[in-house]
Amino acid sequence: MKAGTTGAACTAVLVRDFALVWRRRGDALNPLLFAIIVVALFPLALGPEEAVLERIAAGTIFVAMLLAMLLSLDTLFRSDLEDGSLEQLVLSPHPLALLLACKIAVHWLTTALPLVCIAPFAAELLHLPSPVRPVLIAALALTTPLLSLIGAVCVALTMGMRRSGMLLSLLVLPLLVPALIFGAGACNAAQAGLGYAAPLLWLGAWLVAALVVAPLAAAAALRISLT
């Protein structure tokens, strides 16, 4: 690809971010461990009865995955802000929204995709009935990119302060209520033997809208934070 084109810039961002994650691959495991530990805490707190765990399995896994992703969100732009590369992205002649979309995609592929992959394992821990598992994976596959996208907008807004910490969860979680309702709702409907297509389709529609709007919003938010 010719140097200097937007395509080359996007490739450069993708390659750089993947390389950064690969060099600190131990850190990439932390969200997975966190999610598994949170899932494991529920049987310890509620008792090991299969019927109880079956009932709460889908919701618990959803909440655990969302919290695990939330913890990893702050790293999305933080190190780039500290070493100055984020300013270079903002100053570059290429569309900032597109470059941020590349960064968000890398974040999703390196933190959310592994989480979706271990979902069947977490489902086994909580005795989620096996017919519900494909629905759980589909719902997670639609919900986690939403979280990456909406989270990116909120993270971009918090770049103006030194540490975002708890505040980030206060910003992101209320916006994610619909994702949680539809995602866990699809699993609960499947578990109750009801149709689960409608909530999944809603999630898909919302994801498509977020894919278009969220990178633009993140770019606008980042420009606000860095001025």
- Cα of first residue to Cα of last residue in the chain, in angstroms, is 32
Position 36: which residue type?
I
Rounded to a whole number of angstroms, the minimum distance from the CB of residue 20 to other proteins is 26
Binding site for other proteins (CB under 8 A): 153-154, 157-158, 160-161, 164, 167, 170-171, 173-175, 177-178, 181-182, 185, 188-189, 199, 202, 206, 217, 220-221, 224-225, 227
Alpha helices in 24-159 (DSSP H): 25-46, 50-73, 75-83, 85-91, 96-107, 113-125, 133-157
Our CB check for other proteins shows the closer of 8 and 205 to be 205
Our CB check for other proteins shows the closer of 118 and 218 to be 218
Our CB check for other proteins shows the closer of 9 and 172 to be 172
Rounded Cα distance between 106 and 81, Å, is 17
Rounded to a whole number of angstroms, the minimum distance from the CB of residue 224 to other proteins is 5
Rounded to a whole number of angstroms, the minimum distance from the CB of residue 78 to other proteins is 15
Rounded to a whole number of angstroms, the minimum distance from the CB of residue 17 to other proteins is 24
Rounded Cα distance between 123 and 57, Å, is 7
Rounded Cα distance between 173 and 66, Å, is 9
Our CB check for other proteins shows the closer of 71 and 175 to be 175
Rounded to a whole number of angstroms, the minimum distance from the CB of residue 170 to other proteins is 5
* Per-residue buried b or exposed e for 107-133, using 16+ beta carbons within 10 Å of the residue's own CB: bbbbbbebbbebbbebbebbbbeeebb
Our CB check for other proteins shows the closer of 113 and 170 to be 170
Asked if 141 and 56 count as a contact pair (C-beta separation under 8 A), the reply is no
